A = this chain, B = another copy of it.
Amino acid sequence: MKVRRSDRLIDMTRYLLERPHTLVPLTFFSKRYESAKSSISEDLAIIRRTFAARQTGILETVPGAAGGVRFMPTIGQEEASNFITDMANRLSESDRLLPGGYVYLSDLLGTPEVLRQIGRLIATQYLDQSVDAVMTVATKGIPIAQSVSQYLNVPFVIVRRDSKITEGSTVSVNYVSGSSARIEKMELSKRSLKPGSGVLIVDDFMKAGGTVNGMRGLIEEFGANLVGISVFAEGKFAGDRMVSDYTSLIRVDDVDTKANTLHAVAGNYLDYNHELFGRLREQ
């Protein structure tokens, strides 16, 4: 049965949103809705226009016989900036400060709406880079990795500090935990990364960068390539950080454990991606 345009638009929107960064041939939609390719092309032009106007993302057309359309989710600079400001305010709430200067994040990193936006922001940064997998370390990086992986539509892999029998053979590296300067060990299931794959490292919180540096070592062990490093929040660190090229959404600046206050501000994400947002605006 031929499907009306309004129904096609609704179902195509859902279909594309659920499959980011996936090439969908026009013939697929044409069959699905028993409609002419010319009608499908018109539908897609409308969706492209609305997605651009609402800064939902880019609907890219790939011409030719092997072509189709590909949806790439993005976030607009203003929405990104508002979200970061909101998160910085949330992090600055004094009851988040834990003994030792740690910051309680589990509520935010367990809220679907927050994770959705973190995923959109980080995925936007790596929009046109060749990411084959998102990597993080258990436990608190997992929700971020999962959300980014969803928006980039690639798998995520979880590095562990404790050995688990349910992972099979693993590859392990030693690393220096920056805060405590102790030697630790982390490992990843052997079958989780292919040589040559592009890997994006994400984590919830970075201080000295020791953990992130350990993951970098693991990527090397697997013969894979580091594409980038993005963290939700970075803390202040007195001394040389082990990682220099990274982005953070939030920076926790002043932690005063005596007065029980902390001050969080925007990280370097917006500055780092200034040009990218300029290009996105023009599209």
Seen from chain A, the residues whose Cβ lies within 8 Å of a Cβ on chain B are: 5-7, 9-11, 13-14, 17-18, 46-47, 49-51, 53-54, 56, 98-100, 102-107, 110-113, 115-116, 138-140, 142-143, 146-147, 149-150, 153-158, 160, 162, 164-168, 189, 191-192, 205
Contact = CB atoms under 8 A, between A and B. Distances in A.
B165 A102 contact: yes
A137 to B, nearest CB: 10
A214 B162 CA distance: 21
B47 A157 contact: no
A211 to B, nearest CB: 13
Chain copies in complex: 2
Contact of A6 (B5, B18, B99, B115): B5
Contacts of A143: 142, 146
Contacts of A150: 112, 115-116
Contacts of A142: 139, 142-143, 146
Contact of A115 (B50, B113, B146): B146
Given A98-B168, A110-B158, A166-B98, A9 B11 contact: no
A192 B105 CA distance: 11
A232 to B, nearest CB: 13
28 contacts: A6-B50, A7-B46, A7-B49, A10-B46, A11-B50, A13-B14, A14-B54, A14-B56, A17-B17, A98-B165, A98-B167, A98-B168, A104-B166, A106-B158, A106-B166, A106-B167, A107-B191, A110-B149, A110-B155, A111-B155, A112-B146, A112-B155, A115-B146, A115-B150, A139-B158, A139-B160, A162-B162, A166-B205
A197 to B, nearest CB: 13
A2 B230 CA distance: 39
Given A14-B13, A46-B6, A116-B18, A166 B140 contact: yes
